[in-house]
Amino acid sequence: MSLSSPALVGREPELDLLTEVGRSAGEGRGSSVFVLGEPGIGKSRLVEEAVAAAARTGSRVLRGRAASAGRAVPLRPLAEAVFSGLRGEGAPADGDLGPYEPLLSRLCGLAPQDGAPLVGYAEAVLRLLGVLGRTHGCVLVLEDLHDADADTLTIVDYLTDNLSGQRATLLATLRGVPGPALDLAEAAVSRRAARTLRLARLGPAHTAELAARCLGHDDAGKVPAAVLDRLHAVSEGVPFVVEELLRAMVDSGNLVRTRNDGWTVAGALNAGVPTTVAAAVLQRVDHLEPPGIALLEAAAVLGRRFPVDVAARVAELDRVTALRQLRHAARAHLVTDGATAEQPGWHSFRHALTADAIAHRLLPAERAALCLAAADAIEAADAAVPEPGTDRPDRGGEPRGLLGGGSGDDLYRLAAELCVAGGQPARAAALLTRASRQAVLRGALLTAVELLDRGLELTADATDTPPETVARLLEELLGTLVLTGDVQRVPELGDRLDHVLIAWGAPAARRAAGFLTRARAAATAQQWEEGLTAVRRARELLGAEPDAASRAALDAVAAHLVLGSQRPDRLESARALAEGALAAAEAVGLPEASCKALNILGYCLRPHDLAEAEKVFERLVSTAETHALPVWRIRGLLELGALDRIRFTGTDRLLAARKAAEETGAVLLTAWADTHLTQAHVLRDDLDGALEYAERLRTTADRLRLREVQLIGVAMDAVIAASRGEREKLQAALHVLETALAGGSGGAVWGYADTSVWGWARGVCSLLLEEPDRAMAEFTEADRTMRALPSTRGVIGFLGPYLLLRTVRGAAGWAELDGGVADRLTQVHWDRPFVGWSRAVLLGREGRAAEAAKAAEEALAGTDTIPMARHLCLRLGAQAALTDDWGQPVEWLRTAEQFFHDRGTTRMSAACRALLREAGSPVPRRRQGHDTIPPELRRTGVTAREYEVLRLLSRGLGNQEIAQQLFLSPRTVEKHLASLRNRTGQSSRTALRGLARRYADGR
């Protein structure tokens, strides 16, 4: 019979709170709650009641449990929850999850990993919750979070910060003991991103009520006093212990039901029952047959959840016998069927205390022997599982491997901990190395680092650890740290590895590989010279003629390091290294190394010849497509799109690269595409488009907490502010960047961004504010900086206006225009018209008026898509044309004045009017109040009179009333309103009135 309470006892306030949390989530006010308490305190029961209440309102429920065999399996609880959300009715339809669907597949182990960042998985889970909860809300339940791996906790931490405003709730249970999970919960509470419920033990009254309900009564007075005394003394208010002790009393015959449905004590309640819950558990264990006891003892050393095949092998039982014994144990309320569609070969103990009680009954020698036998069984069974991509015969429907249907979970970690318990730490360390490799394949990099650190900790205390085991641990840890970008520990660990290899007498190639890893880490940290020193050490170890694979790897990383260094010949040297790496990689068939080399080679060629760089990046794309390397293909597409932006401000290939990055779940590459698209739209003077992509960039960076991408977003804010002539906003953004770069937090993504941001943004902003002296100083400073970074020459965008400004002022002559610098600038769409106008200015200065006018007009060809560059040329060049009497300066100034007036660049338009007055030409009249029009409306062409109409419309006035206020006819008012709708894109008068009110409210 069931002796569980049909109702929740003593948790009414907590249940009310969780119910309200679920209701709020259904209304779009998502939040997180961590339910804390000791084992058996009722965390799961409380959450189950809250979930049931949410389900009754239509909420979707996703469940996952972190408790697992041995140490935590990477991302397992989230994968289990995602599976529960993807099956059955209400599952997302194709396309609902967009680019995040591939990431969910990888999270669940259904698709190969490709290095997607952990935050990408976090965002994918968040999107799934949003899709499932869009109608009635969604509840994500994660139980036993204290057993979760580091990667799972990182994703949970992300969810707590991003559920606000979502129709989703996170309910997580964990033990209230010190550890990473508790630290996470307390940190989330401190920043007001979550709440905690710490469940206390039941008091005497609630313990009595619980006992009564378990026995089928509402009144505690119907429970024999001796039973209540015993429960108070032994259970100490832990609900699980109360239920277990009552079951033991009934099963032993010492508590029996009377004819009138009451209960009476028929024997000594403490006879055969110890003072701990273990006694209640073990009493039922001992009623099993000997094979069943042996099976549970073997399962107990594996943990609360256990693979049946392994437990059976340790207990020396065949599968049929083991399953029969499990049925007996389930009837005794000791185990439950923990199998799922994804893991049909697993079972669970009813409670963690059940496994603990059984395991602790064993003598130390018995427990050690069972642990080692279990480790042997895991290794033997795992060896029978085919490697990915290999073919093995089907075993007639028998579950494949330990997991019964897949190899998503990692049992090497469990085998390692079993070896530790069995007194074999050196063997455990070797197993943890293998476990870390599987974690890396799953994308769980933080978990991999945790496993390897654990392995190193074990080897420190094991004097018999073979040097090769320590070396492999250090090699795997170094490589994983480079993948995570956390390279601060690499130098110390690299020295340690080299000492171990020397003491062991390892081959020189093994030592060289360690230095190569250190070189990659230095490249990640932008420590160029340190990295090159590591490359040199590796070359010394490999000798004069290393094998082709080693040469390709060394040359590729050396090319990266040299290109980023301050060496005067770095561009040529990096190119030679990249070409050598490419030849070696292709000779031995290493496509990924070939892609790396092609990428660096393209960077080397880009400053000199954009067409040649394009051929290299096209080759990169082709190589990646041929060898199914999706991330490298996207990188190649992105570089091709960047070249289009440089050469003709095109966006087609950038959009294609962005789409491919989204479909693949490559979040960082999507962000880079948004960066290039923002810049392209700024150069096109399409500030609405620029703002759209800048906002996407910021959203990605903020939601995924990508610090380096956040800084790139700030840089784009600076560029947009500069194009508007908003110096205050520009300076604020530059201050953020200066602080980050000074503190060394800019990271590898910065590269050479300083010249494009500081140079273009500051100089162009000063030009738009009609401060040419300041622009000249800023361009000069940027040029000086850029000359220390020659690999960026010709693709920055400030060199064109800088050349024209110097030419107008007499500081640049034919020597520059006839040299290679001007040739490179003509390859850059933005710079090209400035080069042509510089030629025109020099021709006009020499009295060659016809040639000068022709050169000026030719320079304007193809500038319709870059109107700001076009009209800056007109503004700067027309002044020289007036002075030297050539061309059509008055017409050019009128065109420039109208353009800058329409876009709200008032100082530049005023300067054009001043020059027109000097030339004796009529000056366009500008209605008073024009400067009061918000810049974004000015840029759409809204006139001062139309803005007056818009302001009156915000007050709810009709056409007749507006006409009376402005001394206009109603017909004229209607024309102004039609023009406003057309200019602002509002479809109706109501929409236009809403826009007007937003401006009236200061928005």
pLDDT at 137: 92
Task: Summarize the confidence of residues 829-845 as an average pLDDT.
Answer: 94
pLDDT at 743: 54
Three-state DSSP class for residue 265: strand
pLDDT at 1002: 54
Q: What is the pLDDT of residues 421-443, one digit of tens each?
A: 888 888 888 888 888 887 776 66
Task: Summarize the confidence of residues 568-589 as an average pLDDT.
Answer: 89
Q: What is the pLDDT of residues 285-341, one digit of tens each?
A: 888 899 999 999 999 988 888 888 889 999 999 989 998 998 888 877 788 765 555
Query: How many other β-carbons are positioned within 10 Å of the β-carbon of residue 226?
Result: 16
Tokens of 750: 């910065």
Task: Summarize the confidence of residues 723-727 as an average pLDDT.
Answer: 89
d(CA 303, CA 76): 15
Q: If we measure between CA atoms, which residue out of 161, 102, 154 comes closest to residue 128?
A: 102
Q: What is the pLDDT of residues 226-284, one digit of tens each?
A: 988 888 877 778 888 888 888 878 887 888 888 877 899 888 776 533 445 677 678 78
Beta bridge partners of 138: 60, 168
pLDDT at 536: 92
pLDDT at 435: 84
Q: Which band of pLDDT confidence, cut at 50, 70 and 90, is reported for residue 351? A: low
Query: How many other β-carbons are positioned within 10 Å of the β-carbon of residue 461?
Result: 10
d(CA 585, CA 594): 5
Task: Summarize the confidence of residues 103-109 as an average pLDDT.
Answer: 78
Q: Is residue 959 over pLDDT 80? A: yes
How much is the CA Rg of the chain, to the nearest whole Å?
36
Q: Is residue 485 over pLDDT 70? A: no
Q: Which band of pLDDT confidence, cut at 50, 70 and 90, is reported for residue 752? A: very low
Four-CA torsion 776, 780, 781, 784, nearest 10 degrees: 170
Which residues fall within 8 angstroms of residue 25, CB to CB, at 6 or more apart? 31, 54, 59, 133, 137, 138, 139, 166, 167, 168, 169
Q: Is residue 344 over pLDDT 70? A: no
β-pairing, 346-349 vs 263-265, is unpaired
Greater pLDDT, 527 or 65: 65
Instruction: Please report which helix (H) or strand (E) contains residue 264, including its range.
Output: strand 263-265
- Cβ atoms of 527 and 482 within 8 Å: the answer is no
If phi > 0 it is left, if psi is from -120 to 50 it is alpha, else beta; for residue 109 that is left
Three-state DSSP class for residue 954: coil
CA angle 526, 531, 536 (to 5 degrees): 160
The runs of H, that is alpha helices, within 215-331 are: 225-235, 239-251, 277-285, 290-300, 308-314, 319-331
Q: Is residue 385 over pLDDT 80? A: no
pLDDT at 166: 92
Residue type, 372: L
Tokens of 57: 């309102």
- Cβ atoms of 868 and 722 within 8 Å: the answer is no
Q: Which band of pLDDT confidence, cut at 50, 70 and 90, is reported for residue 72? A: low
d(CA 56, CA 8): 17
- Cβ atoms of 272 and 252 within 8 Å: the answer is yes
- Cβ atoms of 412 and 432 within 8 Å: the answer is yes
Tokens of 126: 């968040």
Per-chain mean pLDDT for the chain: 83
- Cβ atoms of 840 and 623 within 8 Å: the answer is no
Q: What is the pLDDT of residues 971-982, one digit of tens each?
A: 888 888 888 888
- Cβ atoms of 161 and 3 within 8 Å: the answer is no
Q: What percent of the chain has pLDDT over 70?
A: 87
Give φ, ψ of 328 to 5 degrees.
Answer: -65, -40
Q: Which residue has the tokens 């991509």?
A: 389
